[in-house]
Structure 1
């Protein structure tokens, strides 16, 4: 259920010391201000300079001024967030940002070593993420949207504001009299997420006022179902073997084969098949009934191939 900003922060009890991802925008300013008040001397701010906007240097100077006022240390990392051909600009910037934040946090030595990274994404961001996933025909991992907490590389990442609306964050911040940056890229409707924010969210608010709560509930259901599928895939792969034995694979239902193959390819080879590739692979496996039947097809960035009794994958 949607919470107020104060309720969300009262419930947030991270392992300390804590790093707050700080862009200078309204959401991260509110999160940094609240964390600095709640845990004085236990919080640092990390700012990523993406190098994508002429105003980036101004953003950095603003963040430094805010942190000086709050007596919070600021760490800044400059990155090259330009996207590669075929990669979305948003995905490239997000990947660069997370890598930089983790590097800054892990650079803290000894007793100052960061335990938790807090990120200021809120309930509206969660809805946008779900709608983007739906627009792409995503499966359960995509429909699960953003996790409130996860671990990676020895750090715990938290999104304590996922149940707070954007307006709830800004109302709290306004009451504090704090200043923040309005990033012009956030209203550029060339980006799909911004079109969703500007056009779809107001329409959803008019038609379904509780949409933040109901959409979040659907994402939680998807996440729970995905967790079950993950457990099944782990058990099936342990029983069938790595690489998977083709005859044992064929004994499973086709949905269960697909679930195991996704898990095997991602967990062992960091490969993600497209829906079309996975369907073709399942068809090829079904036809693989004789010793001489060959199988060789592109999956992800590599190839699945039959090697005797097993299905293998390689990247040439």
Structure 2
């Protein structure tokens, strides 16, 4: 057992963070009040005294949300840390996932606050258990490499750089340290609601994995890193192929590539140029239609994402729904 004054595991994680913090600008920590973000906030405040700003997103989705704010205010007052409470509307629309809607609202609010406060980066508290849950969710949905890459340790959104320094730190290590230090944190009651797939994974699968494969957090994280590296390589190949076939892609040039490279470059083109992601079935249909384009008069029409792909002479054209093809 670690001694009562043992080192904060989040502080250990910050040692390996590839972030050079300038003394000229503050750094933000997304602080929900939960154990992970609480340990991260304390570690950041110790590492960069006087530079840390706590950002709490108030989703307004449950009665306990105001209690979360009070806990955050109490901890930040004790640390003499500035706390910014961000009110968001995280309600989801028809057919939308409540988790996805809350996540989009959260990141939008954090990015806006980071720009307003001129933060050089925002630290997020997702840990090793969250990474495993994300990977298992991706596997359950039959995801490709982007999904199997799980959560990136660094990413940019709306001009703001985000870091996840705790992706190799188990949740239990963070919680145990806080308990030993008698530091208050929030237990979100929604985390035990097994109507949500992620919560079922946490409650049922992780204990079983822990029993069967005690090092599963490390090995799953390594698999996610391998997937991320492979995805980076595919993106590089896709960009080279897109330079070759043109933007928009020429049909005859596409036909000169293997089916796998056609699929790769088409995914890349649709995502980068049109923010559209084809399903596996849509992509297979598109490859079949491209292969069938052997005469000048052969037409092509396929719905992809929120638009349609058609043939415009020698090239493909993507038209968002509501727009008229010219």
TM over 0.5: yes
Matched residue, 1:53? 62
Match of 1:38 among 18, 37, 47: 47
Matched residue, 1:119? 124
Match of 1:107, SS state, is helix
In the alignment, is the contact (CA less than 8 A) between 2:33 and 2:71 conserved in 1? yes
* Distance in 2 of aligned mates of 1:14 and 1:184: 36
In the alignment, is the contact (CA less than 8 A) between 2:40 and 2:125 conserved in 1? yes
Gap change, CA 1:234 and 1:19, over 3 Å in 2: same
* Distance in 2 of aligned mates of 1:119 and 1:176: 22
Matched residue, 2:250? 245
* Distance in 2 of aligned mates of 1:62 and 1:295: 58
Match of 2:32, SS state, is coil
C-alpha distance after superposition, 1:135-188 (max 9, x if no partner): 000000000001111233332211111110011111222232210111100111
What is the RMSD computed on CA atoms of the aligned residues?
A: 1.3
Match of 1:82 among 78, 86, 91: 91
Shift, 1:104, TM fit: 0.8
Is 1:168 the counterpart of 2:177? The answer is no
Matched residue, 1:283? 288
Match of 2:227 among 222, 227, 232: 222
In the alignment, is the contact (CA less than 8 A) between 1:23 and 1:63 conserved in 2? yes
Matched residue, 1:236? 241
Is 1:15 the counterpart of 2:21? The answer is yes
* Distance in 2 of aligned mates of 1:121 and 1:14: 20
Matched residue, 2:203? 198
Matched residue, 2:259? 254
Match of 1:80, SS state, is coil
Task: Flag structure 1 segments of 5+ consecutive residues without an equivalent.
Answer: none
Task: Flag structure 2 segments of 5+ consecutive residues without an equivalent.
Answer: 1-7
Instruction: Provide TM-score, normalisation by structure 1.
Output: 0.95
* Distance in 2 of aligned mates of 1:163 and 1:288: 49
Matched residue, 1:273? 278
Shift, 1:11, TM fit: 2.7
- Size of the aligned set, in residue pairs, is 310
Gap change, CA 1:4 and 1:29, over 3 Å in 2: closer
Gap change, CA 1:260 and 1:224, over 3 Å in 2: same
Matched residue, 1:298? 303
* Distance in 1 of aligned mates of 2:16 and 2:312: 53
Shift, 1:61, TM fit: 1.9
* Distance in 2 of aligned mates of 1:313 and 1:11: 43
Match of 1:100 among 100, 106, 109: 109
Runs of 4+ more than 6 Å apart? none
* Distance in 1 of aligned mates of 2:288 and 2:178: 55
Instruction: Provide TM-score, normalisation by structure 2.
Output: 0.92
Match of 2:154 among 140, 149, 152: 149
In the alignment, is the contact (CA less than 8 A) between 1:5 and 1:172 conserved in 2? no
